[in-house]
Amino acid sequence: MTRPCASGPNPVWHSPGVRETFRQRLQEWFETEGRDLPWRRTTDPYAIMVSEFMLQQTQVATVIPYYQRWLALFPSFPALAAADEDAVLGAWQGLGYYSRARNLHRAAQQVVAEFGGTLPPDPAAIQRLPGVGRYTAGAIASFAFDLPVAAIDANIARVLARLLDLQLPVDSTAGAAELWRAAEALLPAAGGCLHTSSLMELGALICTTARPQCLICPVREWCAAEDPELLPQKKPRRKLVQLEENCGWVCDGQRILLERQTGKRWRGLWKLPLLENLSAYRVAEAPPLLEITYPFTHHQVTLALCPAPVPEVLSADQQWFPRASDGLPAMPSPHRRAALQMLAKG
């Protein structure tokens, strides 16, 4: 059996009439079954950009309260552009992947500097902003300006891979090219918002990773997948690397010591000080006070929190903070979790 691809015999890719029927069937389903999400109630390019940044690698239910608080604090491109980075990182705390917050902050500053605070309806210009790739640019162009521009997130990639019965890893160059060709072939002449929203929602609610609900799929007659749960294919995962992160728990009365991260990973955030950075650190015979593990890309990190004395001299990146949960600054989630557990012990 020849398996369909974007350039293959499946009529949905070549027949304008079939494509129109496909879109209509999908959009009718979406208008009845689509979720009422806050960012779907607006066409404000800024609010939509905020939602797209937050939804990268974070679930919808987690994002909603952060999205609402963010817009209350920073309601526009100019408001965010003028904000202090510490305030931006503090508002983002808990969402993780803080480079998204820094990129969003820089994007707002660029929109103000280059476009007077108003995002233009130009996908190419949008894609030149920090942190904006092909998907995000297409999504903003579709949702904010209703342009018929392709956008492929994980949900849409899964839908397209199954429609095509794509036997290529979707994270490979060849697989991604097939998906983008398919996405562009399905575009309507106008009305990008409804089209992209419908495809995305189908992946979120019906064409799910596990146990897809094929029997109630509104476009099942055009799906070529023989075994949907085996798709999409992805390249083999890299071997998990184990790392250790040894930090000190340093208290001085009602104060705890933190140090500011200067590297690329968590730049600008405060974390528990590395033992090697504590000038008065001595190797302790006692076991760690606390150990937690957390993932980071293809790493599994064990964070060991050890008792350490008050250093004689603080480095430029170290600072005392109140020994209270509400006195903590913006911190990476694993370090904040460890600090809160220690504070709870008293």
What amino acid positions are annotated as catalytic residues? 52
Cβ count within 10 A of residue 295: 10
Written as six digits, the tokens of 300 are 């599994």
Q: Name the nearest CA neighbour of 281 among 307, 253, 320, 255.
A: 307
Cis peptide before 232 (omega within 30 of 0): yes
In whole angstroms, give the CA distance from residue 100 to residue 130. Answer: 9
List all residues 6 or more positions away from 238 whose beta carbon is below 8 Å from its beta carbon.
298
Instruction: Write out the two tokens for 96.
Output: 């993780």
Contacts of 276 by beta carbon, 8 Å cutoff, 6+ apart: 246
- Tokens 């004395």: give the residue: 309
In the numeric block, the tokens 């991260």 are attached to: 261
Q: How far from 65 is each of 37, 72, 80, 271, CA to CA, in Å?
A: 11, 11, 18, 24
